[in-house]
Chain A
Amino acid sequence: MTALAARRRHPLALVLLIALGLLATGAAYSALAPKAASAATTSTQDIAAGKKLFLANCASCHGLNAQGAPADNRGNIAGPSLIGVGAASVDFQVGTGRMPMAEPGPQAPQAVVRFDDKETAQLAAYVASLAPGPQIPTAEEASGEGGDAAKGGEIFRVNCAMCHNYAGAGGALTRGKYAPALDNTSPKHIYEAMATGPQSMPVFNDKNITPENKKDVIAFIEASRELPHAGGSSLGNLGPVPEGLFTWIVGIGALIGCSVWLGSKAA
């Protein structure tokens, strides 16, 4: 007879048996019970979670109710009101790491993304619940597939190239602000930036650049990234400045070297 069998009539044996039974039932339930359906639309839980994240990370500059907050009593603001900016704004700013702003300055640069996709979606849900605003685009809208890159190029040159440069290499604005380069921005973020007009960028709503045209612009930007540079090194697509630098240093340097060699005597 084993030691366990010898104790089968112990008074606590029944308690132990019931506890094991409950444990087994609980484990089986959590493993086998059907999960509640999770819809893609935001739920009040997302909004509540988003509000918690907002209060912890964003309210110090944007106000406890996202109404904006002043920086001092001279009219400067710490953070603008987020009422009406829509889910797309949050998805863009938080998704590219621009917000929470790492340090004060004329512009929030693209930085390390501090929230994962779920938290970003929750923050977006909360801000979207404050007032209607631009929505996060669908995967089909925010891609360059099926877009006309040539038409997108024309729209880009009229509306975007003056700040972002003819090839999307970025450009300077006033007082330390700048339009960033577009070489590694995802199509979704490009769409959202056009729709929400982050920081100094103007708003290109759907009546200004229609969703089809936005798709064309995304197609153009993606095509620009992929096409080989037929003329050799693009030198950053910045135009005459790096070209001049190369010519003056390497080109004229080589010519001077050749001239020196031409005038020197042979051994």
Chain B
Amino acid sequence: MSQTQHGSTDGTLAQRPGLPEHAPQIEGTTAAPTLFENPGLPPHVHRLADTDPKAAKRAERQVAALFTLSILGTLVFLVSYFAVDPQTPVYIPLIGRTLLQNFLLGLGMGCGIFFIGIGAVHWAKTLMPDEEVVEERHYLRSTAADRDGAVQALQQGGEESGIGRRPLIKATAAGALGLFGLPFIVALRDLGPLPGDRLSRTMWKAGMRLVSDPEYGPIRAEDVTIGSVFHVMPEGIDKVHDKLEQKAKAAVLLMRLDPADIKSTKQKAWGYQGIVAYSKICTHVGCPVGLYEQQTHHLLCPCHQSTFDVTEDCKVIFGPAHRPLPQLPITVDTEGYLVASSPFHEAVGPSFPERGHR
């Protein structure tokens, strides 16, 4: 369509230095000179099935075999669904001991679906025509006549609806449609409520007995021997209505150490003769810190490996936690059972913005 805009008007580029003398010109709209011949599409390579009828027959048999495998897979599924007892175990190499029906259902359905696809693709690749075609790129913009016609139809529709002439309809329609959006906005309240002080308070109160999880039996001080670990909940936690939410905050780990090993006086004072109770909720992200290493007196959180030293008031000695585990002050009641002497003195678990202020 247009010539190159550099140099000569006769179309040759021989004057430009560095270019070969007979460089052909390709029509285009860019200003850049052409430097090579457009290779065009590579010559079409015919498949075996196109040229050799025996290969075509072979490909047809292959496709048929693949579809047959799919049929067999589906039949395996159907038969094993009804005929195999779901409890039957079976040993399969590389998998181990598993349930026979599960295995057959999976194998059957898997083969059923897979070989339909493989068969179809193989059919398309070997037997269906694969000549290259050029797809025209049509203009997306509609014709002027179509656009005018659309506008006119809309205008006509608007007039015919009569909304302009009937203000009562207009008003009530506007009211109905407008009001209809309100429930969705009002329902945004369900994103809340804000927790208030629920993050800062646990179920623990003064005088509440420590009971073991999951049996909920009370614990005597002399039952906790050195090296023991009791997983503890507050008494009555199985009866509250939001049990899981309370359990997630109130979990406590009870350990007994030799009082001579405890280096912190506050820890000794809040414990009872070497028995100490700490919140089980990690101060990092909130996993239960249950891994007590009896010999080293370290508490390990399995999630991110925060390590707390129980002899030093559960101070963090390794890992991403920044605050020590909160200690629950304990004592014994008149019958000798361990009770909390006060609630936790700080919020348990991970940090949050209002911590310490609410």
Contact = CB atoms under 8 A, between A and B. Distances in A.
A200 B300 CA distance: 12
B228 A208 contact: yes
B146 interface: no
Interface stretch (B150-158, B285-293, B343-351): B285-293
Contacts of B76: none
Interface residues of A, number: 32
Interface stretch (B89-97, B165-173, B237-245, B264-272): B89-97
Interface in B237-287: 255
Contacts of A162: 288, 290-291, 302
B121 interface: yes
Contact of A230 (B48, B99, B215, B305): B99
Contacts, number: 101
A267 B99 contact: no
Interface stretch (B24-32, B219-227, B324-332): B219-227
Given A205-B228, A262-B121, A266-B47, A200 B295 contact: yes
Interface residues of B, number: 51
A52 interface: no
A158 B231 contact: yes
In terms of DSSP, what is the predominant structure of the interface of chain A?
Answer: loop
A182 to B, nearest CB: 16
A233 B94 contact: yes
Interface stretch (A40-48, A92-100, A169-177): A169-177
Interface of B is mostly: mixed
B126 interface: yes
A230 B228 CA distance: 36
Contact of B214 (A155, A177, A203, A266): A155
Contact of B98 (A163, A171, A232, A265): A232
Given A174-B318, A203-B227, A203-B228, A233 B98 contact: yes
B176 interface: no
A197 B103 CA distance: 41
A207 B214 contact: no
Nearest to A202: B229
Contact of B45 (A171, A204, A229, A265): A265
B218 to A, nearest CB: 11
A129 interface: no
A229 B290 CA distance: 27
B341 interface: no
A201 interface: yes
Interface of A: 154-155, 158-159, 162-163, 171, 173-174, 177, 197, 199-205, 207-208, 213, 228-234, 262, 265-267
14 contacts: A158-B213, A158-B231, A162-B291, A173-B291, A174-B296, A199-B295, A200-B293, A202-B228, A203-B226, A204-B229, A208-B212, A208-B224, A228-B98, A267-B126
Given A203-B294, A232-B95, 16 more contacts: A162-B290, A163-B290, A174-B296, A174-B300, A202-B292, A203-B228, A204-B228, A208-B224, A208-B228, A208-B229, A230-B99, A232-B98, A265-B125, A266-B47, A266-B122, A267-B48
